[in-house]
Chain A
């Protein structure tokens, strides 16, 4: 199975901060990576697909980059509604796998 390692696991930040979350794959997955946002008690929401394509309705302050084994999710200016847990997922090979998550909390 392809392992995804997210870092950090926990991030404390302030409104307006630029935030970067990384996701490292255990093998080359090309650009087959998605990012999800999950708020407490709610279903995850797709933010980015194919490593860098913003999903419909997602604010432009979110961006994704990377290919191969190293990927990043960046929030250019953190907003109050962005405090949540973020997960990466590889869709290159079955079984599809998720990273362990990064919880973004208010500083």
Chain B
């Protein structure tokens, strides 16, 4: 069964850095893109972009380009979402999900709550 396990909730202060993770089961990382989706409190879903772990090719939404960094370690089947300087407006739940071409996001992680507050 395909599973995506995300790292636990984080609390940070504005200006701090953070990296959260998404670990996939089996061989799913070999031939699938991993997408990141943001959901701010009481708001809808926003596609941030995605990474192809096999070669670390990335696609960023213009709204998130330069604000976050995607990376991946194919040896451990893990994808990462990173911030170098958090803002209060980064407070949200972040989901990773498997991107199946022509289908969309067919398997999702459980989400990671990131709280940024002074």
For chain A, the count of residues having a C-beta within 8 Å of the partner chain is 23
Residues of A within 8 A of B62 (CB): 1, 95
Q: Type the 1/0 row for A44-65, where 1 means its CB is closer than 8 Å to any CB of B.
A: 1110011001010000000000
Q: For chain B residues 66-102, which have a beta carbon within 8 Å of chain A? A: 95, 97, 102
Interface contact A34-B105, CB-CB below 8 Å:
yes
Interface contact B104-A45, CB-CB below 8 Å:
no
The docked-state distance in angstroms from the alpha carbon of A34 to that of B105 is: 9
Query: Which of B12-20, B24-32, B106-114 contacts its partner?
Result: B106-114
| Candidates A43, A53, A95, A99; contact of B63 at CB < 8 Å | A95
Residues of B within 8 A of A87 (CB): 44-45
Residues of A within 8 A of B44 (CB): 87, 98-101
The docked-state distance in angstroms from the alpha carbon of A84 to that of B24 is: 27
Q: With A95-B61, A95-B63 as given contacts, are A46 and B105 in contact (CB-CB < 8 Å)? A: yes
Interface contact B108-A50, CB-CB below 8 Å:
no
Give min CB distance, A93 to chain B, whole Å.
11
Residues of B within 8 A of A83 (CB): none
In the complex, A71 has a CB within 8 A of chain B? no
Give min CB distance, B102 to chain A, whole Å.
7
Residues of B within 8 A of A13 (CB): none
Interface contact A98-B46, CB-CB below 8 Å:
yes
Residues of B within 8 A of A34 (CB): 103-105
Q: With A43-B95, A44-B95 as given contacts, are A98 and B102 in contact (CB-CB < 8 Å)? A: no
Interface contact B109-A43, CB-CB below 8 Å:
yes
The docked-state distance in angstroms from the alpha carbon of A53 to that of B104 is: 12
| 5 nearest A-B pairs in the assembled complex, by CB-CB distance | A34-B104, A95-B61, A43-B108, A49-B103, A96-B47
> A residues within 8 Å of B by Cβ?
1, 34, 36, 38, 43-46, 49-50, 53, 55, 87, 89, 91, 94-101
Starting from the known contacts A43-B97, A46-B106, 4 additional A-B residue pairs (CB-CB under 8 Å) come to A38-B45, A46-B105, A89-B45, A98-B47
> B residues within 8 Å of A by Cβ?
35, 37, 44-47, 49, 59, 61-63, 95, 97, 102-106, 108-111
